[in-house]
């Protein structure tokens, strides 16, 4: 496994090398906007966060590739009009291998050379049995290889600290993740992290398997009941019970709810940094203020940023 990792690192001289060298940095995630008001707010957030110099700006793809056009448009606009380094999400759901190759070609032509390769959840029901497109791909490692073939520089993949819902046990889950790295992935972004211990155990198990690929934990400040619903979607409905115990007493007080949500995120961020995690992946929800607060309080950002 070490040999495979060395080969991947040699090919990924850009983003992966920067992730390896990063010290107290952050990445940020955006989603395609579905109306003009959200698009305007999103671009204001982009302009406010770009000077903080995140190591990357990821752009989600949507269930079943539902945001395909918007995702490609936003990622290429980031590449064209900002100093940010876009990371375009891509899922295998509902698309043939030829269609996926076309999306990859559009991204590369638009200046986006880094991709997060995901199998994705079934369209319409994330808990339904996985069924690949008849001319599509079955697993994320196949998408990693396809991205490599279409000229993508760095390929990231998803990691699941609490285990993927389809994995019967931790060993199977780890084997699948290692397979994605062996296929050519250079780094991973972990599913939304609330249980820091789960993330640290995953990191330790990867290290024990001889894999030193960077893995970024996802951090989302739960600052409103609406955001709490977002966490339910991002964690497949398995957000921890302790989070509700912390937040539920403030459901009728918007200000107090936000303060407690930020307090939880800062506690998790400080613990991760204290454990040697150098890059935190921050969900923006297409707004800047919470990300700015976390970056300031946790001392993130590139020197001179």
How confident is the model at residue 18, as a pLDDT?
Answer: 94
How confident is the model at residue 5, as a pLDDT?
Answer: 40
- The number of C-alpha atoms within 13 Å of 264 and in the hemisphere containing its C-beta is 23
How confident is the model at residue 6, as a pLDDT?
Answer: 41
Alpha helices in the chain (DSSP H): 2-11, 15-21, 36-49, 68-81, 97-109, 140-149, 170-182, 196-208, 225-234, 241-247, 254-274, 289-298
How confident is the model at residue 135, as a pLDDT?
Answer: 75
Known active-site residue 197: no
Secondary element (H or E) of residue 161: none
- Token match 């509700």: residue? 244
Each residue's pLDDT expressed in tens, for the chain with a length of 305 residues:
343 444 443 444 589 999 999 999 999 999 999 889 999 999 999 999 999 999 999 999 865 555 778 899 999 999 999 999 999 999 988 889 999 999 999 999 999 999 999 987 656 555 556 666 777 798 899 999 999 999 999 999 999 988 877 777 888 899 999 999 999 999 999 988 888 999 999 999 999 999 999 999 999 999 999 998 878 776 666 678 889 899 999 999 999 999 999 999 999 999 999 999 999 999 999 999 999 999 999 999 766 55
Query: Of 274, 266, 270, nearest to 246 (Cα)?
Result: 266
Choose, from 29, 239, 260, 278, the residue flagged as catalytic: 29
Residue 223 tokens read as 């600052």
How far apart CA 38 and CA 42 sit, in angstroms, is 6
How confident is the model at residue 9, as a pLDDT?
Answer: 39
Q: From residue 113, give the alpha-carbon distance in Å to each of 85, 86, 168.
A: 9, 8, 34
pTM for the full predicted model: 0.90
Residues with Cβ within 8 Å of 201's Cβ and at least 6 positions away in sequence, in order, are: 161
């Amino acid at each position: 496994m070490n040999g495979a990792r060395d080969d991947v690192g040699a090919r990924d001289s850009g983003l992966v090398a920067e992730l390896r060298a990063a010290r107290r940095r952050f990445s940020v995630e955006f989603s395609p906007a579905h109306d003009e008001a959200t698009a305007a707010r999103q671009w204001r957030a982009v302009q406010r966060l770009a000077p903080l110099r995140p190591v990357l700006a990821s752009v989600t793809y949507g269930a079943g590739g539902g945001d395909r056009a918007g995702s490609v448009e936003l990622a290429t606009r980031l590449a064209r009009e900002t100093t940010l380094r876009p990371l375009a999400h891509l899922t295998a759901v509902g698309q043939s291998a030829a269609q996926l190759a076309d999306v990859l070609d559009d991204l590369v032509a638009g200046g986006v050379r880094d991709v997060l390769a995901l199998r994705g959840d079934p369209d319409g029901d994330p808990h339904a049995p996985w069924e690949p497109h008849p001319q599509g791909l079955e697993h994320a490692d196949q998408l990693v290889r396809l991205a490599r073939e279409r000229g993508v520089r760095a390929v990231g993949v998803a990691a699941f600290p609490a285990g993927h819902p389809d994995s019967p046990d931790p060993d199977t889950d780890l084997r699948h993740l290692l397979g994605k790295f062996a296929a050519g992935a250079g780094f991973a972004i972990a599913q939304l992290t609330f249980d820091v211990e789960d993330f640290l155990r995953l990191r330790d198990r990867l290290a024990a398997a001889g894999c030193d690929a960077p893995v970024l934990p996802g951090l989302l400040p739960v600052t409103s009941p609406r955001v709490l619903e977002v966490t339910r979607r991002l964690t497949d409905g398995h957000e921890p019970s302790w989070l509700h115990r912390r937040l539920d007493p403030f459901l009728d007080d918007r200000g107090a709810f936000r303060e407690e949500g930020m307090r939880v995120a800062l506690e998790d961020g400080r613990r991760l940094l204290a454990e040697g995690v150098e890059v935190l992946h921050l969900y923006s929800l297409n707004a800047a203020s919470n990300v700015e607060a976390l970056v300031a309080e946790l001392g993130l950002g590139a020197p001179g940023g």
